[in-house]
Structure 1
């Protein structure tokens, strides 16, 4: 078995990794043809990841023009602890305010430590309700997934 095969995450490992991490780095293509890179909070969504952003942001404008992105999620302070995933993705842009509101609630509850399905406090609903009309939802649907977990190598390479 190749080293590449040894460090690849299984589907269950990948799902657990996406669940524990907190920030994605999203690369879109800017108007000048160069990558535009931005960090975003996210939440796992089906077999992908989802988030929201301001509809007037550069990444939103880039995705209107070309709905493709690459997403990087990584961690590890030294080579033998490196873990991560790169998703080449087609991006579904959500503009329906009710759906964007729910996406915002899912996102904020995750970062507040709530579990999916937990009651939504009225103050959170009110805050998200005011934000949602200015935002769009983004669902990154992977077309290619590359993952690595160097901890599987037991400190050797």
Structure 2
């Protein structure tokens, strides 16, 4: 069945939207919470370090969602389903989804949302915030260039879910 990939920068609300879509009865998977994504250095599966990773570590490692995982989820999902998260191999997996939704959020909102994260979690340190804002700087332009549906993620999760479902209906899904 068709799967939709919901991506965006850390703090955009991917997990919140995924939970809202699940509450509404849609199959919804979170690349982090459901442990679908894994860190790799080259082709080697590695563990994420317990301590905060530095720029060099992130330059040498990629968080990947294996294509076979997407295929497995698609075959097991009835109706419209969602995979929510951000991974470093999006170019490898986008074609496996019926649509891609990119949650869009300004820097101030990203900072505010990241400030609520528990100490020690990703996005809770100044270095993490700097990295996230760097990654987010071109995400809307990059994702729209590849056909993603851009959705304003500044509202509460239920409103963002409404925007996603409305946009997908306009594209003939849902």
Identify the TM-score tier after normalising by the shorter chain.
under 0.3
- After TM superposition, the score normalised by the length of structure 2 is 0.26
Larger radius of gyration: 1
